Amino acid sequence: MAKKREEREMGMLLDEIIEGMPLFAKELVAGGVAGGFAKTVVAPLERVKILFQTRRDEFKAVGLFGSFQKISHTEGVMGFYRGNGASVARIVPYAALHYMTYEQYRRWIILRVPDIGRGPVLDLVAGSFAGGTAVLLTYPLDLVRTKLAYQIVSSSKVNIHGVVGMEQVYKGIRDCFSKTLKESGLRGLYRGVAPSLYGIFPYAGLKFYFYEEMKRHVPEERKKDIVVKMVCGSVAGLLGQTFTYPLDVVRRQMQVQRLSVSNNAELKGTMETLVMIVQNQGWKQLFSGLSINYLKVVPSVAIGFTVYDLVKASLRVPSRDVIEAVTDKRNSQPSLHS
């Protein structure tokens, strides 16, 4: 009896907390949970993709399954999650900010520019600014994740032909932050941020643009179907990623230039790095790892959308239609100065 009373009291307390949370906080929580969960599921593919982008000679030649075997033999199962701690530490605030600022920018635009309508252009603009905001605030964590994932630390008990061993430069997230700051200062933590912004603005905008455009062709009775949302989101993510992927490769190579024994041009900019990749490695390198990214994006987006919707429902976030109806009501109220 006492246990049931405690459970009831806990439930009431939880209800009070949820009801007291502002809308933006609920969107932050839902986005963060969705991002962290989805990123962990696809972490092995993300690790291999980064190695494809930055260690072409060692991994690209053996392909996807060969790369999985090399990592498994040299680093074990945990090797697939090298850098995932930094990845999750970045993606939780990144996804939280991305989802929340997208919704906030969308509502702000509707409030400030009521004649803009509800078409895909609204989502293109809101998504682009949301992506840029999230990148700027979380980029150092992405840089640390890439540096940790780039390291290949071979076990002393095995010697796999074709794997170039290296000293473990960074012992963990904190150590990587500390050494990067010491070597390059605050600017070093934003190494490669330019191609990130060049890529995220069109990618984030196009992702939401394609998503809304595709939903327009879905029958009205199916638009609330979560499976339909996941399919639309996945295809939209694939289209957006294809257009902006070369900038992702440029960003990765800029992030690890100080670690590469074959490249001393640490100070190359975005366009210089792009030209260098094409001249030295061929234009195909700009799409290295794209097939893995396709395998990663589909489950990642599907899981992300599903978890996001589930958490929003559990936090009792009203539907976008309800929220925008309130915004429209504010717009329709006469001004005191009119």
Q: Give the tens place of pLDDT for each residue, 181-215.
A: 888 888 888 887 887 787 788 778 887 788 778 87
pLDDT at 139: 87
| CB contact at 8 A, 64 and 292 | yes
Pick the closest to residue 86 from 167, 151, 25, 24 (CA basis): 151
Q: What are the mean pLDDT values of the chain's consecutive 10-residue runs (338 residues total)?
A: 71 82 91 90 80 63 69 76 78 90 90 77 88 89 78 51 54 83 84 79 80 80 77 80 81 69 57 84 81 76 80 84 66 50
pLDDT at 120: 75
CA–chain centroid gap for 38, Å, is: 10
Q: Report H helices in the chain.
A: 2-20, 23-41, 43-54, 56-59, 63-75, 84-112, 120-150, 173-188, 193-216, 226-255, 270-281, 290-314, 320-332
Tens-place pLDDT, residues 98-128: 989 998 998 899 888 877 777 778 888 898 9
pLDDT at 91: 86
pLDDT at 335: 46
Integer Cα distance of 100 and 227 in angstroms = 22
Pick the closest to residue 83 from 20, 188, 175, 163 (CA basis): 175
Model pTM score? 0.69
Integer Cα distance of 182 and 51 in angstroms = 25
Integer Cα distance of 312 and 306 in angstroms = 10
pLDDT at 97: 92
Integer Cα distance of 167 and 228 in angstroms = 47
Tens-place pLDDT, residues 300-322: 877 887 788 889 888 988 877 66
| CB contact at 8 A, 252 and 146 | yes
Neighbours of 302 (CB within 10 A): 20
pLDDT at 337: 43
> At residue 23, what are phi and psi to the nearest 5 degrees?
-60, -45
The type of residue at 87 is: S
pLDDT at 188: 83
pLDDT at 303: 81
